[in-house]
Amino acid sequence: MHLVPALDGVVAGDRVEVDGDEAHHAVTVRRLRVGERVALTDGRGTTVRGEVAETGKRLFAVTVDEVERVDEPTPRVVVVQALPKGERGELAVEVLTEIGVAEIVPWAAERSVAVWRGERAAKGHARWTATAREAAKQARRAWHPTVAPLATTDDVLALVAGAARAGVAVVLHEQATSSLAGVRLPAEGAGPVVLVVGPEGGLSDDEVARLSEAGAQTVRLGAEVLRTSTAGVAAVAALLARTPRWG
């Protein structure tokens, strides 16, 4: 699967050219050759397939013989991921992308060990975005996720409040008494599912209280305490198993 800027209006028989870094990686690193079948996507629901007709150092062309357009999967899942330390942020983004999350929101939680400021914030966001892009191609997703700018707690509260009105918002917390299994999912075509995952140090009492006031349901996964980089994917999997997406 290769990502291209746009596939609007492409039909069978058209020739689509891929250039830049995407083509360089395909031709130079993966040794793409004329005659091989490949898939191209714009990350917004359109995928085309066909044979490679030409290759160059930073370019290859595909003759399209199949076009597929799919609607964005529902319910739309948004994960607010508190910044983990080290490379665990990229791990979280990778697995959340593979499982089908629509948007990942990096969050500067009160107890986040990692700090994104200035140039470090730009680099961190760029790494998360690149990780999501490559994981989406690996997972052969027609709809690629977005990585939002770094969110403050006030930003997260606003997101949760909006989801609570039209969809559902949940926050994972090891001391919660309610189970994720009891969360009532939004009806078909309703609002999104927003999941809030705290940092390694856990959510503060103030954060839990404010998220609850904004409309989030505080739940736990089970007796085990998961790392912040894996809790999100476990929770999303549990939720998707109850939807037509995994039906």
Query: Hey, what amino acid is at 247?
Result: G
Q: What does the mean pLDDT of the chain come to?
A: 94
Q: Which tens digit of pLDDT belongs to each residue from 196-246? A: 999 998 999 999 999 999 999 999 998 888 999 999 999 999 999 999 999
71 by Cβ neighbours in 10 Å (0-12 / 13-18 / 19+) ranks as exposed
Distance CA 111, CA 109 (A): 6
Together in a domain, 137 and 15: no
CATH classification of the domain holding 33: 2.40.240.20
Does 109 score more than 80 pLDDT? yes
For the CA atoms of 62, 64, 70, 73, what is the dihedral angle to 10 degrees? -20
Last residue of a domain, one of 69, 86, 109: 69
Q: Which tens digit of pLDDT belongs to each residue from 143-190? A: 999 999 999 999 999 999 999 988 999 999 999 999 999 999 988 778
Last residue of a domain, one of 52, 69, 86: 69
The reported pLDDT for the residue numbered 189 is: 73
Together in a domain, 25 and 141: no
% of the chain surpassing 70 pLDDT: 100
Residues in the chain: 247
Q: Which two tokens stand for residue 128?
A: 């998360």
The reported pLDDT for the residue numbered 133 is: 96
Together in a domain, 56 and 163: no
Together in a domain, 241 and 203: yes
Tokens 């705290």: give the residue: 198
Together in a domain, 88 and 188: yes
Together in a domain, 211 and 96: yes
Together in a domain, 161 and 207: yes
Decide: 197 and 223 in contact? Cβ < 8 Å: no
CATH classification of the domain holding 212: 3.40.1280.10
- Residues 74-90, buried b or exposed e (16+ Cβ, 10 A)? bbbbbbbbbbbeeebbb
118 by Cβ neighbours in 10 Å (0-12 / 13-18 / 19+) ranks as exposed
Does 45 score more than 80 pLDDT? yes
Last residue of a domain, one of 16, 51, 69: 69
Number of separate domains in the chain = 2
Together in a domain, 142 and 195: yes
The whole domain housing 233 covers 77-246
Together in a domain, 190 and 111: yes
Angle at 246 between CA 93 and CA 67, to 5 degrees: 80
Together in a domain, 90 and 59: no
Beta bridge partners of 50: 38, 64
